Structure 1
Amino acid sequence: MAKPIYVLNGPNLNLLGRREPSVYGTDTLDDVRDLASARAKQLGAEIVFRQSNHEGELIDWIQEAREAARGIILNAGAFTHTSIGILDALQAAELPVIEVHLSNIFKRETYRHHSYVSLGSTGVICGLGAKGYELALEAMVQLTSKPQKR
C-alpha cells in the first residue's frame, strides 16, 4: 500500500469558520478535513490530516513525513512568512511539497507576499478556499504516481 499524503495545517487554522470569514470563508477545519478525505478516497489515496499552533510540532511532523509519507501538503499559516525552520525541514524531507493558502496572499498585506515555504515547495495554490486542498491532493497524487528522481 502506498504511503499517505501528510496534510499539515499551521497556527489559527483551528479557528476556520469563525476567524475572519470574509477572508478565510465559512468552512471549518473539520469541513476542510472531510473534503480532503473524500477527495483522497476518490483518488485512491490516504491522508494524515493534522493542525498545530506550534512551529516545533509542525517541524516534527515534516521530519516524520520524510519516512512515513509520499508527499506533504502544507498550509503553514503565518509561519509561511516567518519560519526558516519549517523551510529547512521541508528541504530535508526530500519529498514533493504543495503549499496551500485559503486566501490569495498576494492580495493581502505586503508582509504576506513573501513565503519561506515556497522555497521548499514543488508548487503553490492560493486564493481558492477549501477547493485548494482538493487541487493539491490531485496534484500530489499525480506527482507521486511517477517515479521520483532523488
Structure 2
Amino acid sequence: MKLIIINGPNLNLLGKREPEIYGNATFEDYYKKLQEKFPNIVLEYYQSNIEGEIINKLHEKGFTFDGIILNAGAYTHTSIGIGDAIKGITTPVIEVHISNTFSRESFRHQSYISPNAKGVIIGFGLQSYDLAIQSFL
C-alpha cells in the first residue's frame, strides 16, 4: 500500500508554533514514528506553504497512490482550487486536522476539502494521522 501525507501552510512549524494547540513535537519526529509503526506501508511525506504546489502534488500522486492524507491547514477554509483538485483525482483523500477546528474561530468551520474527501478526522492531535492511516487498512 502506498500512502502520502500532504501538509499545508505553517505545519512545518509544528513543535514551535502555538504548542498549546499543536503540541511540542515536530512533524518530522512524528513521521518517523509512523514509519516504524506501519513498516508494511510505503509512506511518503510532503509539506508546502504554497497552494499551487499542494495542488501539483495532489495531481502527481492522485492517480497512482492508494490514499492521500491531507492537512491543508488554513487552505482548508479558503482554497476552492485544492477542493477541485481532490474532486479531479481518483485516489481517496482523508482530511485531517490536529486541532478541533470547530472549537476555534468560526471561519475554520468551513472546509472546501470535506465535500470531496473520503472522510474527515479532526481534533486528535498528531494521532489524527495515525487514525487516517488505519482507515486505509
**TM-score greater than 0.5 by the shorter chain:** yes
Q: Percent identity?
A: 47
Aligned to 1:99, which of 67, 92, 95? 95
Task: Give the unaligned 5+ runs of structure 2.
Answer: none
- The aligned length equals 137
Looking at structure 2, the residues matched to 70 and 86 of structure 1 have their Cα atoms a distance apart, in angstroms, of 19
Q: TM-score, normalised by structure 1?
A: 0.87
Residue 86 of structure 2 corresponds to residue 90 of structure 1: yes
Aligned partner of 2:65 in structure 1 is 69
Taking only aligned residues, the RMSD between alpha carbons, in angstroms, comes to: 1.1
Cα pair 2:63 2:90 within 8 Å, conserved: no
Q: Which amino acid in the other structure matches residue 89 of structure 1?
A: A
Residue 37 of structure 2 corresponds to residue 39 of structure 1: yes
Looking at structure 2, the residues matched to 134 and 39 of structure 1 have their Cα atoms a distance apart, in angstroms, of 9
Aligned partner of 1:117 in structure 2 is 113
Runs of 4+ in 1 over 4 A off after TM superposition: none
Higher helix share: 1
Q: TM-score, normalised by structure 2?
A: 0.95
Aligned partner of 2:48 in structure 1 is 52
Task: Give the unaligned 5+ runs of structure 1.
Answer: 142-150
Q: Which amino acid in the other structure matches residue 39 of structure 1?
A: K
